[in-house]
Copies of this chain bind each other. A is one copy, B any other.
Amino acid sequence: MLILHGYWLSLAAYRVRAALKLKGVAFEERMHDLSASHHNLPAFRALNPAGAVPALEGGTPEPLTQSLAILEWLEETYPATPLLPPDAAGRARVRSMFLLAAADTHPLAVPRVQKRLAAQFGADAAAGREWAAHWYREGLSAYEGLLHDGATRCHNETLSLADLALASHLIGAERFGVDVSAFPRVAAVGTSLFKLPEFESSHPQYQEGAVAP
């Protein structure tokens, strides 16, 4: 049995959780309270020395880490319900759209960055939210330029890793108070995606340990 080590608020864990559901792969999830620094406990560091969620245990000799690395492994190991296109150019486009959220945005807004802003620049919670919101808006603007009018999916009207990333981006944007309606193509794809039970039920707000905003 695969074990997903997550945290209710983790957007990277969200991407993996939703993919496991889309592929119909059985898994259990164990939640770690990162707000109480449980990622620094020896048992968790043994699982992932980098102290980050998600980690996927049970499919490989060592636990897998980093959402895109886990998702590529899932794609290779459980090819049913493919989440990458059949053509190399399409795969590149999907991976590029994935990284727009997972590399260019999300890492800029995570708690360790918020903590560093406070430590180095004295940023209070409001300044930290403003910082995060700025990057989510930048990412939304980039997505808006990549999506097509009338689209309900990021690429070729077929579900892909890019949709998992966009959904996670929208969850982050909402959390930091960004008005997504200013990005109509993104908003349309998001509305369509969250109608899917796998996307909706994986939302952080429904996970164990979730705290209302």
Contact = CB atoms under 8 A, between A and B. Distances in A.
B68 A95 contact: yes
Interface residues of A, number: 47
Given A49-B142, A77-B88, A95 B121 contact: no
Contacts of A146: 49-50
A73 interface: yes
Contacts of A49: 142, 145-146
Interface in A54-100: 60-62, 64-66, 68-70, 72-73, 76-77, 88-89, 91-93, 95-96, 98-100
B107 A88 contact: no
Interface stretch (A126-134, A166-174, A181-189, A199-207): A126-134
B116 A120 contact: no
A91 B75 CA distance: 12
Contacts of A127: 120-121
A151 interface: no
A117 interface: yes
Contacts of A100: 50, 66
A95 to B, nearest CB: 4
Contacts of A103: 66, 68, 99, 102-103, 106-107
Given A49-B145, A107-B108, A142-B49, A91 B68 contact: no
B64 A96 contact: yes
Contact of A65 (B70, B96, B113): B96
